[in-house]
Amino acid sequence: MTQISMSGVTVEFGDTVILSDVTFTVGAGEKWGVIGRNGTGKTTLFNLVTGAVQPTQGGVVRSPGLRMTLLEQHRDFGDATTVWQAVAGAFEHLLDLERSLSEQSSRIGELGEAATPAMLDRYAHDLERFEREGGYEVTARVDAVLHGLGFDPMDARSKRLDTLSGGERGRVGLARQLVAPADVLLLDEPTNHLDLETTEWLEGYLRGTSATVLLTAADHPIAPCRSPRSDTSGCDARLEVDARTVALIYCADWRHVERLCSTRATFWSARHTELLASR
């Protein structure tokens, strides 16, 4: 099922053509690499996908109701004050409920026989609500993503956002994006703040997700990856690029996604203004 399609899209900022005659489709669950050097238009392509930028010419179609998340470059975490709240985003209230359940359970334990029916009723009611809203799954997911991206999930419940370094905020932003419910993940240079261990964790996460993934990699070199126009199933097609091109690389299998995350390999791209997109 096609989720996103562009046809004949051109974007001009003033007199400068950033993208020219871009045509491609992205199907559900597909994984694509968006490759290009700094300033070539990768983020602009993502902004076209989300609708934040309108094409000068051509059209962008998204399937109705598509849930997309884009890693926010400016890291707006809303009202969150702790790392856990920032990552949980829309599910933040479940942390309050989890905390309240834990307090109620300790209190009931201390009181033993003296616990009142009203206290027991409230506990049962809140526990049922926590389960119904997917509390166990969501808290486990937030904890797993935090752990994978190098945070201690228990510490994260009290760690204040305003004590974080820039790199740590970057990882919180990525964790928040991965936790949010989405059909399409637009990952704009997600490995910027990751070390080898967390990069490997991200690779594994992307391998396991059923969501559609578009992932940019900037000036860092990219491993050989199957060209969308290549008939071969291997990763033996190579393309030389000039400095002004964005290429879209269809990842035929997960090895290629791993290589997209990697920062050490051969740079890939396509001819100027030719976005490698049609399959």
Q: Which stretches of the chain bind ligand ATP, using CB under 6 A?
A: 13, 18, 36, 38-44, 218
Residue 176's CB is within 10 A of a number of other CB atoms, namely: 26
Nearer to ligand ATP, 15 or 231 (CB): 15
Residue 40 binding partner per list ligand ATP, Mg ion, none, with a CB distance cut-off of 5 to 8 Å that depends on partner kind: ligand ATP
Binding partner of 139, given Mg ion, ligand ATP, none, CB within 5-8 angstroms per partner class: none
Token reading at 87: 């990552």
Report the candidate in 237, 226, 170 with the shortest Cα–Cα distance to residue 202.
170
Nearest-approach distance from CB 33 to ligand ATP, in angstroms: 13
Q: Which residue is nearest to Mg ion (CB)?
A: 43
Choice between 13 and 136, CB closer to Mg ion: 13
Task: Name the minimum Å distance from CB 37 to Mg ion.
Answer: 10
If you count them, how many residues does the chain have?
279
CA distance 136 to 148: 18
In the chain, the N- to C-terminal Cα span, in Å, equals: 15
Give least dist CB 199 to ligand ATP, A: 18
**Of 42 and 159, CB closest to Mg ion:** 42
Nearer to Mg ion, 42 or 157 (CB): 42
Judged by CB, which is closer to ligand ATP: 87, or 246?
246
Among ligand ATP, Mg ion, none, what binds residue 44 when CB lies within 5 to 8 Å by partner kind?
A: ligand ATP
Residue 171 CB, shortest distance to ligand ATP, in Å, is 18
How many angstroms from the chain centroid is the CA of residue 278? 24
Check if the beta carbon of residue 198 is closer than 8 Å to that of residue 171: yes
- Summarize as ranges the residues that interact with Mg ion (CB under 5 A): 42-43
Contact present, 11 and 45 (Cβ < 8 Å):
no
Residue number, 225 or 252, with CB nearest to ligand ATP: 225
Q: How far is the CB of 17 from ligand ATP (least distance, A)?
A: 10
How far is it between the farthest Cα atoms of the chain?
78
**Which of the listed partners (ligand ATP, Mg ion, none) does 187 bind, with a CB threshold of 5 to 8 Å by partner kind?**
none
What are the b/e assignments for 19-54, b being 16+ CB within 10 Å? bbebebebeeebbbbbbbbeebbbbbbbbbbeeebe
Q: Tokens representing 25? A: 């489709």
